[in-house]
Each structure stands twice: as C-alpha cells, then as structure tokens.
Amino acid sequence: MENSSDEPCGRWRKLPSWLLTQTANHAHRLVTEGFAAVDSRGYHYRVLATLDEFGPASQAMLGRRSGIHVSEMVAAINELAERELVERAPDPADRRRNVISLTTAGKRQLRRLEKQLAERQDELLAPLSADERKRFTELLSKLLDHHDRLGP
C-alpha cells in the first residue's frame, strides 16, 4: 500500500545515524553561511582559534593542534597571511621552519567568526531549551569521544 500523503516515509527517518547526518548537513550549511558572511571559511576559524588558544606555532604543530592536514594547512595559512590575519616568520631555533603568529587583525577576525558561530549555534539549536542544548552537546561529545578512541 502506497503512502497517500506527500510526507516522506520510511523507518530510516527514526534511525540515529540518519538523524545525525541530516542535522550535520544543516549545521554545515549554517556555519558555512556564517563564515562566508565575514569572508572566511572553517579552516580559517580553526587556525585562528588554535593560535589564539596555544600561541605561535610551526605549520606542522598548528596542523596537529587544529586537525588540519598539511596540504590544506599551507593554503589556509597563505590565505590568512595574504589578509594579514597571521604572520609567518622564520623560527629563530630552526631557520628552515616558519612560526605562525596571530596578528591584531587576526584577533578581530576571530571575534567576528566567534560571533557568527554563536548566532549559527543558536539557529541550529533553536527548538531546544538551554538544558536540552547542554545535554545534547554532552551526548554528542560522549559519542564522538567513544568513536575517536576506537579509531577508524
């Protein structure tokens, strides 16, 4: 028997994996739009936030701390350096290596990105109360930590 309504049907719509994937798609779109509104992208935020949190670092260390692959890290740093949001300077301990630092303009851009992120988190989680948001985040963290420990 066919479904007579126009609503999608299917038992998959109640599966946690399907729900997470669909919600992740919305989250990605919202965050991407927020970053684009201030002329940035996700890698820019991750680099700037990592430098803000840990201080100057080599490209390799910055890649490890931010979880950005080396091939993507070079492009992100080049884009940020071109906009004077980060500074690249030779490492005094090893002239073959560069140290990346956050500039004052980079700190301002990071604040704009964080404002966009906060607004987009509110938009994503709009139907949830403050307590539900906290619990939801805790549960997602627990799931991610578990699967990160298991590895690929």
Query: Domain segments of the chain: what residues?
Result: 15-150
Residue 113 near residue 44 (C-beta atoms within 8 A): yes
User: How do residues 20-70 score in pLDDT, each as one tens digit?
Assistant: 999 999 999 999 999 999 999 999 999 999 999 999 999 999 999 999 998
CA 72 to chain centre: 14
DSSP state of 151: -
Model confidence band, residue 6 (pLDDT cutoffs 50, 70, 90): low
Quick one: which of 77, 15, 23 has its CA closest to 47? 77
CA distance linking residue 12 with residue 26, whole number of Å: 18
**Which pair of tokens denotes residue 64?**
């490890």
Task: List Cβ neighbours of 7 (8 Å cut-off, separation of 6 or more).
Answer: none
Residue 98 near residue 119 (C-beta atoms within 8 A): no
Residue 50 near residue 79 (C-beta atoms within 8 A): no
Residue 100 near residue 42 (C-beta atoms within 8 A): no
Model confidence band, residue 1 (pLDDT cutoffs 50, 70, 90): very low
User: How do residues 92-128 score in pLDDT, each as one tens digit?
Assistant: 888 888 899 999 999 999 999 999 999 999 999 999 9
CA distance linking residue 14 with residue 17, whole number of Å: 9
Residue 59 near residue 77 (C-beta atoms within 8 A): yes
| CATH of range 15-150; options 3.30.300.100, 3.30.499.10, 1.10.10.10, 3.30.70.260 | 1.10.10.10
Q: Calculate mean pLDDT across residues 77-103.
A: 92
